[in-house]
Amino acid sequence: MAVRLFNLNGVPEDEAEEVCALLEQAGMEFYITPPGRWGISVHALWLCDDTRLVEARHLLAGYQVARQQRVRAAYAVARQAGTAPTLWDSIKRQPLRVVVLVGLTLLVLYLSVKPFLDLWRP
């Protein structure tokens, strides 16, 4: 029976490819379910043989520790070189998104506080 091994929602493409390659090297059969049209279905990697689940999780745990160390080291090097992305870089890359999110945040804040402000009116 198939068992879900790894959720792929929010996982970078290179990480998903590396996990697939790792499982293929170990000779494990798996399949991937797509995220669906609106991204609400389960986008995951499924292991076909549940008897190898412990082995697969052990492989993934080792891979994730190695990836974490590799990515943190790359970020430290980029930060020292001054090429690491900053908040200002994100704002410059997607200014419309930032404006919309700030506007929505202010709208929610206003709608949350408005009933209390109305209590003070005579």
The H or E element spanning position 93 is: helix 87-93
Confidence (pLDDT) at 3: 93
68: its two tokens: 């974490």
Alpha-carbon gap, residue 43 to 5, rounded angstroms: 11
Give the pLDDT of the chain (122 residues) as one tens digit per residue.
889 998 998 899 999 999 999 999 999 999 999 887 876 788 899 999 989 999 999 999 999 999 999 999 999 999 999 888 899 999 999 999 999 999 999 999 999 999 988 887 77
**Residue 37: count of CB within 10 angstroms of its CB:** 7
C-alpha span between 114 and 100 (Å, rounded): 21
Cα separations in angstroms, 23 against 57, 73, 82: 10, 25, 36
Query: How many angstroms separate the first and last alpha carbons of the chain?
Result: 67
Provide CB contacts within 8 A for 33, sequence distance 6+. 41, 42, 43, 44, 46
| Residue-level pLDDT at 98 | 94
pTM recorded for the entire structure: 0.70
Coil, helix or strand at residue 29: coil
